[in-house]
Amino acid sequence: MKTEGRNAVIELLKTDKNIDKILLEKGGQGTLSLIFSQARKKNIRVQFVDKQVLDKESVTRRHQGVIAFTTDYEYFDLEDIIAEKKSEKGGFVVLCDGIEDVHNLGSILRVAECAGADGVVIPKSGSASVTESVIRISAGAAEHIKVAKVANVNQAVETLQKNGYWVYALEAGGEDIYKEDFSGNVALIVGGEDSGVKRLTKEKCDKVLSLPLQGKVNSLNASVALGIAAYEVVRRRLG
């Protein structure tokens, strides 16, 4: 797997992941010099190459003068995320139900990591996976948050509920999100770009929550909706 872009590679270097090598553009300064210094401290092989070489290797076409080569992304089990519990106020998990757009998944990982979520759950089929593009879009957040890939989102909901989580679907037509106190273990489900949270999944949830929309457009981008909801969880826990 290739991790491209300065911020993404810097975040990758902060982890314990196995980095095979890093390609750096010849004559690079500033942040590229910092990446070289950090790589040397970790005994990671660095090759200085012409921009044309980076252009050829790049998947995203936005390498910014650096590409790191690692083993394929390693997913976690749902049990690993349940055991994480970063906050003493309770666990916090994000589930994706049919997020197919890599930009949305990357943004969701970034939101979840920034909001202190323990992890993100994605289905094995019908969903975007963690790729080089997702890692870049997440601005490196994908390197710091656990992502579990499950065979069935509904089974994941049941597993979370058995472990004491209140599971909320973020969808239109639900209860006002600002009236929920989000105490204890919380799981938020955000649905696909077109279909939203699937009917059977909503039926398994403890509640369906909605954001009050004041304009003429009747929906928000999935990652934007999650951002607002996730920080309502944060606000309640800080309050």
The domain that contains 45 carries what CATH number? 3.30.1330.30
pLDDT classification of 213: cutoffs 50, 70, 90: confident
Identify the domain boundary among 20, 53, 70.
70
pLDDT at position 126 is: 83
Kindly report the three-state secondary structure assignment for every residue of the chain. CEEECHHHHHHHHCCCCCEEEEEEECCCCCHHHHHHHHHHHCCCEEEEECHHHHHHHCCCCCCCCEEEEECCCCCECHHHHHHHCCCCCCCEEEEEECCCCHHHHHHHHHHHHHCCCCEEEEECCCCCCCCHHHHHHCCCHHHCCEEEEECCHHHHHHHHHHCCEEEEEEEEEEEEHHHCCCCCEEEEEEEECCCECCHHHHHHCCEEEECCCCCCCCCCCHHHHHHHHHHHHHHHHHC
The domain in which residue 133 lies consists of 78-238
Q: What is the pTM for the complete model shown?
A: 0.81
Indicate if 45 and 145 belong to the same structural domain: no
Mean pLDDT (the chain, rounded): 93
For the segment 28-53, what is each residue's pLDDT rounded down to a tens digit? 788 999 999 999 999 899 999 999 99
Identify the domain boundary among 70, 90, 121.
70
Lowest mean pLDDT among 65-69, 125-129, 192-196: 192-196
Indicate if 103 and 59 belong to the same structural domain: no
Domains in the chain, number = 2
Identify the domain boundary among 14, 41, 70.
70
Indicate if 162 and 192 belong to the same structural domain: yes
pLDDT classification of 222: cutoffs 50, 70, 90: very high
Indicate if 153 and 223 belong to the same structural domain: yes
Indicate if 95 and 127 belong to the same structural domain: yes
